[in-house]
Structure 1
Amino acid sequence: MDIFIRQELPADYHSTEGMVKEAFLNEEYSDKTEHFLVKRIRNSDAFIPELSLVALTHAKEIAGHILLSKIIIGDGEKAADSLALAPVSVAPAYQGKGIGSQLIRTALNKAKEAGYQSVIVLGHKDYYPKFGFKPASLWNIQAPFEVPDEVFMALELTENALKNAAGVVHYSRAFSA
């Protein structure tokens, strides 16, 4: 589908949150509060405005949204900066048309251009590997909660970026509010 991806603007916030809420209404593994998570991240120190992107239709309707925010991977002695990919949302009327993939590829490219070196995602084991994500356990990176190994993944935007990044992922407080 032909869409235009750009940075989310404050004027988009209300529409984006409505679309995010709608996108997750029928998702089995959702707590139906992703729109609140987006709002909390925007109000946190972890927010990176340049990595909050919207997909627009020709009619300027928000068809999708993706957010990458700051996280830390650490084991007590050392810490590495990284990004969390969460959430990525596509309005139900536009799902299955490749918009989510376009948003993910664009966000990962923008993150790399901005100098970020890695991304962590908790997501579908058959979806995210096509973007290069691998089980985070390959780098001895663990989630801060109990989760199946194959759905907690990492991606190096820069070669060997995670070589010394072992430990637990520390999400911003926005994720636990």
Structure 2
Amino acid sequence: MSITWNTRVGTSADEQVLRDITLQAFGRQYEVDYLDALRAEPATWIPELVCVATVDDRPIAYALLTLAAVGSTPVLSLGPVAVVPEYQRQGAGDAAVRTVLALGSERKEPAVVVLGHDNYYPRFGFRQATEFGIHHPQYDGPNLMALAFGDRVVPAGLLTYSVEG
């Protein structure tokens, strides 16, 4: 059975439910604290780049983009992405990610980076970040990936975040 997911931009009314989804999806407080730290950082947080997937108007998954930088060039960073466990592996996360990436591609940043499962994010076009010349001082492994928006030039250099997760 295939489900067609409804997606929308998150609102301030979703703040607590996103925290709840995060805790359910990851099973620990660390990712909730990271989400809170991102939201609290005005230089990083982009409210219009939080997308939720819903069932009967109830958010059950979300994906968000925040600001990061490669060298001195602003880029977007994907994550967290979280899905309520009972809806995992049914496409809700994919729908939220595709929606937020489409919105992100309308902005001026040339690319988006993600630190995530290297068997999940390539379906959206992500490739290992080192292929673009993007490096992180603590991690350059296969789980650090980047995606160029269209034919934009992806900057090479050191990846930095305003909020480290």
Instruction: Using structure 1 for the length normalisation, give the TM-score.
Output: 0.86
Matching of residues 113-132 of structure 1 within 5 Å: 113-132=106-125
Structure 2 counterpart of 1:2: 4
State the 1:57 CA deviation.
Answer: 0.8
Give 2:151's aligned amino acid: E
**8 Å contact from structure 2 (residues 63, 96) kept in 1:** yes
Q: Which runs of 5+ in 2 are unaligned?
A: none
**8 Å contact from structure 1 (residues 21, 34) kept in 2:** yes
**8 Å contact from structure 1 (residues 46, 69) kept in 2:** yes
Matching of residues 140-151 of structure 1 within 5 Å: 140-148=133-141, 150-151=142-143
Structure 2 counterpart of 1:152: 144
Q: Structure 1 5/170 Cα, relative in aligned 2: closer, same or farther at 3 Å? A: same
**8 Å contact from structure 2 (residues 62, 97) kept in 1:** no
Q: 1:48 aligns with which of 46, 49, 69?
A: 46
User: Aligned residues, how many?
Assistant: 162
Structure 2 counterpart of 1:137: 130
State the 1:36 CA deviation.
Answer: 1.5
SS at match of 1:47: coil
Q: Distance in 1 between matches of 2:109 and 2:100?
A: 11
Q: Which runs of 5+ in 1 are unaligned?
A: 26-30
State the 1:16 CA deviation.
Answer: 1.1
Spell out, residue by residue over 1:131-156, the C-alpha distance to the aligned partner (whole angstroms, 9 max, x if none). 111111112110231342x1111000
Structure 2 counterpart of 1:70: 67
State the 1:3 CA deviation.
Answer: 2.6
Instruction: Using structure 2 for the length normalisation, give the TM-score.
Output: 0.92
CA RMSD of aligned residues (A): 1.4
Q: 2:80 aligns with which of 87, 97, 121?
A: 87
**Runs of at least 4 residues off by over 3 Å:** none
State the 1:19 CA deviation.
Answer: 1.0
Deviates more, 1:11-20 or 1:109-118: 109-118
